[in-house]
């Protein structure tokens, strides 16, 4: 069994925030792969599904970002799972907008949701880092992540979330490298090589006239 956790804040005022891209990813996973309905469990919303014979539980903690570990820890203890069975989808300011990286272990990198999870279960779990870009200065980080994606960004977010949900089987199989490579390709497919110029049109030259026989005089 695997636990798929999307980080975010509950409530309508946060729905479009950059900080809620983890919620968005898990919502699309549940929709795309036909999970069961959302139900209130583990201090959050949970939905069950299966993939490749493996049971999956999607979870959106409703404890607010800074207390995400309470919800995640409760779910892991209920199913008697180790941290290795956890996959967390979250916003990442240290990645360019639209980029994705998968990481196992390591510190929270200033992310309060990860910090809370670390405090409850340790650090030995996988994180799917969804790039939302950096505002340029540390004092701007808080308002940046709690602000909605702009209209220009929404199309890229939708494309990213669709790609993450579509390539989920690679994550489930533990092939993080293939997952990241495929997402990178889908987000920025290589441009086709330019078509070679057409060959110049052949022009038919009129046959040259045969030389007249030279006249001879006696």
pLDDT in tens, the chain (218 residues): 999 999 999 999 999 999 999 999 999 999 999 999 999 999 999 999 999 899 999 999 999 999 999 999 999 999 999 999 999 999 999 999 999 999 999 999 999 999 999 999 999 999 999 999 999 999 999 999 999 999 999 999 999 999 999 999 999 999 999 999 999 999 999 888 888 888 887 666 656 555 555 555 55
Say how far apart CA 90 and CA 113 lie, in whole Å. 8
> Which candidate, 71, 63, 129, places its Cα nearest to that of 101?
129
Q: Is the model's pTM score more than 0.85?
A: yes
Domain ranges, ordered by start, for the chain: 2-187
DSSP E strand stretches across 18-65: 39-41, 44-51, 54-61
The residues annotated as belonging to the active site are 19
Write down the CATH superfamily of domain 2-187: Peptidyl-tRNA hydrolase (3.40.50.1470)
> Which candidate, 133, 138, 176, places its Cα nearest to that of 157?
133
User: DSSP alpha helices (H): ranges in 16-127?
Assistant: 21-32, 68-79, 112-121
Q: What is the signed CA dihedral for 58, 60, 65, 70, rounded to 10 degrees?
A: -70
Q: Residue 150 has which token pair?
A: 């702009």
């Amino acid at each position: 069994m695997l636990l798929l956790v999307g980080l975010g804040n509950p409530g309508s005022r946060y729905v479009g925030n950059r900080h809620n891209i983890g919620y968005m990813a898990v919502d699309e996973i549940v929709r795309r792969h036909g999970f069961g309905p959302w139900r209130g469990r583990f201090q959050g919303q949970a939905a069950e599904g299966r993939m490749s014979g493996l049971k999956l539980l999607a979870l959106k903690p409703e404890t607010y970002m800074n207390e995400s570990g309470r919800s995640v820890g409760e779910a892991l203890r209920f199913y008697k799972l180790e941290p290795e069975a956890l996959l967390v989808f979250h916003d990442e300011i240290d990645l360019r907008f639209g980029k994705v990286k998968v990481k196992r272990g390591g510190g929270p990198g200033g992310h309060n949701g990860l910090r809370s999870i670390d405090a409850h279960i340790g650090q030995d779990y996988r994180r799917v880092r969804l790039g939302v870009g950096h505002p340029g200065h540390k004092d701007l980080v808080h308002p940046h992540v709690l602000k909605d994606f702009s209209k220009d960004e929404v199309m890229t977010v939708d494309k990213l979330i669709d790609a993450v949900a579509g390539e989920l089987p690679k994550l489930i199989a533990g092939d993080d490298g293939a997952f990241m490579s495929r997402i990178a390709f889908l987000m920025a497919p290589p441009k086709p090589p330019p078509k070679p110029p057409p060959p110049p049109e052949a022009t038919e030259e009129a046959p040259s006239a045969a030389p007249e026989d030279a006249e001879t005089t006696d």
